[in-house]
Structure 1
Amino acid sequence: MVDVAIIGGGPAGIAAALTLKARGVRHVAILERESVLGGVPRHCGHPPFGLREFKRLLTGPSYARRLAAAAEAAGVKILLRHSVTALKPGGRLEVATPEGLVTLNARRVLLATGAREAPRSARLVGGDRPLGVLNTGALQAYVHLHGLVPFTSPVVVGTELVGLSALATCRSHGIHPVAVVEAGSRAVARWPLGLFPRLLRIPTYYNAGIDEIIGHGRVEAVRLRDGREIACDGVLLTGRFLPEASLARLSHLAVDGRSGGPEVDQYGRCSDDAYFAAGNLLRPIETAGWSFREGGAIADYVADDLAGGLPAAGDEITLVAGEGVKFVVPQRLSRVAPLRGKLQLRVERPISGQLRVSSEEAVLYKRRISTRPERRILVELGEMKPPGEAKRLLVEIVS
């Protein structure tokens, strides 16, 4: 039995463990399926990481090592190569370990399994199945962890922030992308970051996508949807992140079909109140620094809950994502006053209008916004006072 079992040893999970130990929680364990802690930053061999956490500008691997060292120094029990295979009611976990299958019981469980990039199958890319089709995480693991260069002249798909990370990785390892392909009419990353491909003199095709991958054995070319063919030796699929929520989906926990992560209240508490969630599992996607801070904040709530300091779950208000809103996190609010925390939103398309939170005819919050997909939108819960009888709040953008 442990007090808190944390599933995932990335920034959110490690931050949660550090906070729990600082709050006096004695038995805290991190279960990590890899052989080392650190999560995605382990293979991001470029800055900026760690400025807020360690007051220094670090590369991803240096940041990951510092996180792991901090967890060890705090006395966190670190269980590497431990894969949780099932979540059971009340905090009971089934775990595959190097020694075999075991059951671990925890008073509370914090899910911090992060997010992953959408694979080729989810992008509906047709054609052959040659070697050389990778996502950013696989590329960075190849070059930073194994010293391998999987291709020299790939086509890069996507212009989210992670796409720029992929370009930086390519540039530092002698890989020369021949094109960047973006489905939208402009770069997803904020200006001026979206200018990065141009600075590297890489042609960028907007309103475009790969229709077919061509190659026997290895990638030889891609055909775009307009019929144009580009010779290349690899395809690098970036972005379009999905929460790594397979454990939650296969369990008794409620999962939000819009965000892809588990449904939570403002404390990060799941539909089984023995479980909490934090980090990019909740929604795709935020930076390592954001996930670190979020992991620490949710861990504070977990510590409060262990001490009997959280309101009981049950009497809740449902949040509904309406017009123009892709998802809203949290999906439920425990009925307390004053409300604490923030709503996190994303939009489905570029949109301008009035962001509005309402209960029936009563408008509780409104402001003008102009935003695009993958932009962070926050609403302070403390600025809203839901009516006592409210059962649901509608979050929408009215053009």
Structure 2
Amino acid sequence: MTGIDVLVVGAGPAGLAAAVALRQAGIARVVVVERQGVAGGIPRQCGHSPFGMREFGRILSGRRYADRLAEAALAAGVELRLHHSVVAIAAGPVVTVATPDGPATLAPRRVILATGIREATRAARLVSGDRPLGILNTGTLQDQVFLRRSVPFRRPVIIGTELVSMSAVLTCLGAGARPAAIIESGPRSLARAPFRWLPYALRVPVHHGAEIADIRGGRIVEAVTLRLQDGETRSIACDGVLFTGRFTPEAGVARMSGIEIDPATGGPAVDTAGRTSLAGVYAAGNLLRGVETAGWCWTEGRAVARSVAADLAGDAASAAAGIRIEAGDGIRLLMPQRIAAAGRAFEAIQLRLDRPVRGELRVEADGRPVWSRRLSSGPERRILVPLKALPAPAKRLRILVHPV
């Protein structure tokens, strides 16, 4: 595999969209490597809709959407290599890949990382108790129901109220399982209306301000113990526990390669061109900040691909150049983390809050307020600050929230 112009790592929506856009921009040789045996990423595990409206102009199931993405890539002349795992990336860039035929060393002109996300497991959430059958995360549930045609439980307790949690409710009902309860540690559901109303419409109990303290069972799950905010406990009978959300970037390759990791997002720190701290290496999709929709990642993959194509055509601005953006009060994370001196893939800074806020979102340049707007939002909701609204140049940009 010599003479590669761009190596894309990951065959999910962001990676496949980037690969197609590169070919459409005239990049001769684009190779996508994927560690799984099938392309498409997380949507392949989703038997439900809607996917595909912005990409293909029609509503598709997740599996059909994943197929269409892979078909579009092959039709565009993208080389797709399955069962290929990137081990490390060094300066050059030089990429070490584990293939079915043994290790290989590649020297593409540019690399786009699009390795996606993973859900926080029970162990990562530090939930104690027994280890019976029936404890899953959303990805495993989708795989069991839609790919293996198996229903792992009938009365599960669902942990989390993000959009993916509401999707899990529908998956359960479609498979003949009815959730016994939904548990949220915060004071309100994280999904936006009308999705957060779904459990109430279906008469599924929702417990806010509660955390799962214990799981009990022999061969299968029999009950869970909740710890409420006032310190009291409550037991709920069930036959399964479904952990949803709390997505984190799949950034192992980036970490092992010495790429700067943003501590707030858990993914690579990038500038507005999509460049990481390692020259010649870009990043796109959910790797950058956790969960976003497939359509959003598809759009982002295409935008970063255009930035890479411009780079190959002669834009050699340093990855370290540009203005650092700081997160102030109320901001849990932001992305991108730098405004590039040249090149633009992202048209806005994307934010997430650390708590529900009603007040003012403000941007300060060198300590001076330069942009603001009214804000009423909560955690896990996408908030955008348009880059064209910000002044240039400045030495320091800071984004913060002023509650009212």
- Asked if TM exceeds 0.5, the reply is yes
- The one-letter amino acid paired with 1:131 is L
Match of 1:141 in 2: 143
Over 3 Å counting, the alpha-carbon distance change for 1:152 and 1:330 in structure 2 is: same
Residues in 2 aligned to 1:128 and 1:247: alpha-carbon distance in whole angstroms: 33
Aligned length: 397
* Counterpart pick for 1:391 among 370, 391, 395: 395
Q: Which of structure 1's runs of 4+ aligned residues deviate more than 6 A?
A: 337-340
CA contact (8 A) 1:264 1:331 kept: yes
Match of 2:338 in 1: 332
Match of 1:222 in 2: 224
| Residue ranges of structure 1 left out of the alignment (5+ in a row) | none
Residues in 2 aligned to 1:272 and 1:329: alpha-carbon distance in whole angstroms: 17
Alignment of 1:27-46 (within 5 A): 27-46=29-48
Over 3 Å counting, the alpha-carbon distance change for 1:337 and 1:119 in structure 2 is: closer
- The one-letter amino acid paired with 2:278 is D
Residues in 2 aligned to 1:337 and 1:74: alpha-carbon distance in whole angstroms: 25
Residues in 2 aligned to 1:368 and 1:314: alpha-carbon distance in whole angstroms: 33
CA contact (8 A) 2:315 2:343 kept: no
Match of 1:66 in 2: 68
Q: Secondary structure in 1 aligned to 2:108? A: strand
Alignment of 1:70-85 (within 5 A): 70-85=72-87
Residues in 2 aligned to 1:375 and 1:129: alpha-carbon distance in whole angstroms: 33
Match of 2:200 in 1: 198
Residues in 2 aligned to 1:310 and 1:304: alpha-carbon distance in whole angstroms: 9
Q: Secondary structure in 1 aligned to 2:264? A: coil
How big is the shift at 1:294? 0.4
How big is the shift at 1:246? 1.3
Q: Secondary structure in 2 aligned to 1:263? A: coil
Residues in 1 aligned to 2:32 and 2:246: alpha-carbon distance in whole angstroms: 27
Q: Secondary structure in 1 aligned to 2:204? A: coil
Match of 1:239 in 2: 245
How big is the shift at 1:339? 10
1:185-219: CA deviations, max 9, x gaps? 22111112111112222111111111001122321
Over 3 Å counting, the alpha-carbon distance change for 1:318 and 1:157 in structure 2 is: same
Alignment of 1:245-264 (within 5 A): 245-264=251-270
Residues in 2 aligned to 1:235 and 1:131: alpha-carbon distance in whole angstroms: 9
Match of 1:372 in 2: 378
CA contact (8 A) 2:303 2:346 kept: no
Match of 1:150 in 2: 152
Residues in 1 aligned to 2:345 and 2:32: alpha-carbon distance in whole angstroms: 30
Q: Secondary structure in 2 aligned to 1:212? A: strand
1:155-207: CA deviations, max 9, x gaps? 11111000011111111111121111111222111112111112222111111
CA contact (8 A) 1:356 1:363 kept: yes
CA contact (8 A) 1:339 1:382 kept: no
Q: Secondary structure in 2 aligned to 1:106? A: coil
1:43-93: CA deviations, max 9, x gaps? 111111001111111110110111111111111000001111112222211
Over 3 Å counting, the alpha-carbon distance change for 1:310 and 1:384 in structure 2 is: farther
- Percent identity reads 51
How big is the shift at 1:258? 0.3
* Counterpart pick for 1:301 among 285, 307, 316: 307
Residues in 1 aligned to 2:322 and 2:251: alpha-carbon distance in whole angstroms: 23
Q: Secondary structure in 2 aligned to 1:93? A: strand
Q: Secondary structure in 1 aligned to 2:233? A: coil
Match of 2:281 in 1: 275
Alignment of 1:325-364 (within 5 A): 325-335=331-341, 341-364=347-370
How big is the shift at 1:340? 6.7
Residues in 2 aligned to 1:391 and 1:384: alpha-carbon distance in whole angstroms: 13
Q: Secondary structure in 2 aligned to 1:147? A: coil
- The one-letter amino acid paired with 2:254 is A
* Counterpart pick for 1:20 among 4, 17, 22: 22
- The one-letter amino acid paired with 2:17 is A
Alignment of 1:311-326 (within 5 A): 311-326=317-332
Normalising by the residue count of structure 1, what TM-score does the alignment of the two structures yield? 0.96
Which segment drifts farther, 141-150 or 376-385? 141-150
Match of 2:298 in 1: 292
Which segment drifts farther, 249-258 or 120-129? 120-129
1:250-274: CA deviations, max 9, x gaps? 2210000001110100011000121
Over 3 Å counting, the alpha-carbon distance change for 1:362 and 1:312 in structure 2 is: same
